[in-house]
Structure 1
Amino acid sequence: MKNLLFGLIATVLFSLNGNAQTSNQEWLDMMETYKSLVESEISKECPKEFDLQDFKKSLINGENKLSETAEKTILTYAEPLIKYGLEFAKKNNLKELEVSDLIFYSSISPKVIVENGEIITAKVGEPGLTMSEVFHCAINALGGDALYSLAFSGATSWTAAALTTTFTGVAKRFLGPLGVAIAVVTFGICIAGAV
């Protein structure tokens, strides 16, 4: 009940912003609140032989399942992320294809530079986000399947669309939007720390 209340409070606070652009601090607060709520929900069903991060990866890989109640609760918690994802898509003229895409877009902080749909990355040694950091964060969130999917995606540049397709393809393979909702917070917070 406490977690549901926090989720509703986060949704209301995020809704009060109206059409205002989300600040980086608001985004960080949203992601930290979401992370706390999701981890609390998943930890209730985490077997003793798993640590939480390994259990999350096992869920994403289809090796374990959550109860229907936990799945619905997590998707309810993701509502502010979906709203931010829509804001991000509109701001950057990205296609809003489905819920999984909007949830993924929420992992990209307002500090990340997107020009003409392409995520602007820095060369190694320069300030800014590098592709190696993107790979590291994807592997951290999704496991080894991310490395394979990213390496063999055929993308020649990292457009938001290419990254979205690759990430959501792995994350939703077994759990649909729920898989993306579980993986996105690890990825987003990792990317934010790299920027």
Structure 2
Amino acid sequence: MNRLLAYTFLTILLLLCGSCQEDDYVYPDVLTELAEAQTNDKGTLTYLLTDKGDKYRVLEREGLEGLTPDSIYRALCVYQVTDTQGKTVQLYSAQKVLSMLPKPASAFTDGVRTDPLDIQSIWLSGRYLNMVLLPMAKDKSHIYHFVENGLTQRTEGGNQLELTLYHDQNGDYEAFTRKTYLSIPLWEYGDKLGTGDRIILHIRTYQEGETTREFMIP
């Protein structure tokens, strides 16, 4: 009996010590955000440019090569700033985010598809209108794009850009929710949209049907 009590006490003590060690561990200050990932002339990812305008040099490691040279990718990045000057980062992962320039409806020869999905969040950041969408999917790749409906002047002043989300389920089954990140590049409209102008995004959801989201450029 005493041996059993002693063994039980020792086990509890070891568990408590292990718990203390885990509590004492200092996790790295890792950031997760959408950013522009820039490659050099050899196709290696070398810089990150955040939507706040911060530019970081990416520390070299395996897995950053094989990309298109001298290009910019929109990506969901997980990284850690590694120097006191805040100029260098260790990039742990970079997930490519679809970011296509909007096209007029006439460019879609088979028509504009607006299959439904759900919205987790949509927000303006830097040179992009970003969104986290929740389509129902199984095992097929869905097709996304952005449709430019028109750029007009508002009667109360300023310009208004109207866009529609193109979503083709591609015959996929609605089995589970698949989190999807998209970014609409707004730098294409740099000389047409300014502070106070508005962006109207048309999107079809399961809960609301055909709906819109409106954003004012700060």
State TM-score, norm by structure 1. 0.24
* Max Rg structure: 2
Q: Give 1 or 2: higher helix fraction.
A: 1
Q: Give 1 or 2: higher strand fraction.
A: 2
With a CA cutoff of 8 Å and minimum separation of 6, indicate the structure with the bigger relative contact order.
Answer: 1
